[in-house]
Amino acid sequence: MASSTVSFVIITGLSGAGKSFAIKCFEDIGYFCVDNLPTTLIPTFAELTSRSTRDIRNVALGIDVREGEYLPHLLEALQELRRRNHRVEVLFLEAGEEALVRRYHESRRKHPLAGNGNILDGIRAERKALAQFREIADRIVDTSTLTVHQFKDLLIELYGTPKTRPGLATSLVSFGYKHGIPYDADLVFDARFLPNPHFVDGLRTLDGRDPAVGEYIFRHDESRQFLTRLQDLLTFLLPFYRREGKAYLTIAVGCTGGRHRSVALVEALRQFLESQSLPPMVVHRDLDRE
């Protein structure tokens, strides 16, 4: 039986960042999933999968620090998969220390590297142990501020349907500076100098997706000029990112709270990119935060 090409997503990252939940999501969208397969067995598993009568085309493998002595062999396994012409993507999940500590306290689970120490020591040891895998990751997702519903929507958007265009996948993220800059942002733009609808009666309780908020923001010349310059910059940059083989580009726009100005700008940039046949993934990270 002839072997076929398989797409592999290697899900790794920090314990507590959402790997187990991610694997469940991948199962829901049709991936064949295996958690903590010893890394030395990955090439053999790939061979069996590619020859399976089940016609398996998409596989997600969960790999974490519990691999122990097998973990250093992951890089060799990935090279072997690529040598066999399989498509391989590494998805690295992470979160801030505060979020991870809170999750462990809420779940009452023990961190795999905490030993007799505290959770924070385990988190820092794990971050160091996985540093090389973060460096080779094709996509890094910070789950610190994501709800499980937002996280699932993000994974479905990224992996649930065939990509309609090859090459660069662009994400637009609105955020509030008071909640921190997104860790995975490639480009960050500050919209805090624009007129703020938060101080306008009737607009404060709305968000930047509402036409009334957008109308207020873009009636001001500086807002229109800022949007035009962002569009011109992206028109200039995107072809060069594609030429260099960059797979993902995350563009973040921030305002104070992440509810009005940044959201309106991201929605305007969404329309612009769609008009260029480059539909982006859009995340309004802080829309529901106070």
Provide DSSP, 224-245: HHHHHHHHHHHHHHHHHHHHTT
Q: Which of 100, 112, 94, 81 is nearest to 9 (CA)?
A: 81
Reported CATH class of domain 7-159: alpha beta
* Contact (CB, 8 A) for 287 and 154: no
Burial of 270 (0-12, 13-18, 19+ CB in 10 A): middle
Task: Report how far Cα 207 is from the mean position of its chain's Cα atoms.
Answer: 23
Q: What is the pLDDT of residues 13-30, one digit of tens each?
A: 998 899 999 999 999 888
SS3 172: strand
pLDDT of residue 1: 45
Residue boundaries of the structural domains of the chain:
7-159, 169-284
Q: What is the pLDDT of residues 96-128, one digit of tens each?
A: 888 888 887 776 677 766 666 677 888 888 888
Average pLDDT, the chain: 87
Q: What is the pLDDT of residues 199-208, one digit of tens each?
A: 999 999 999 9
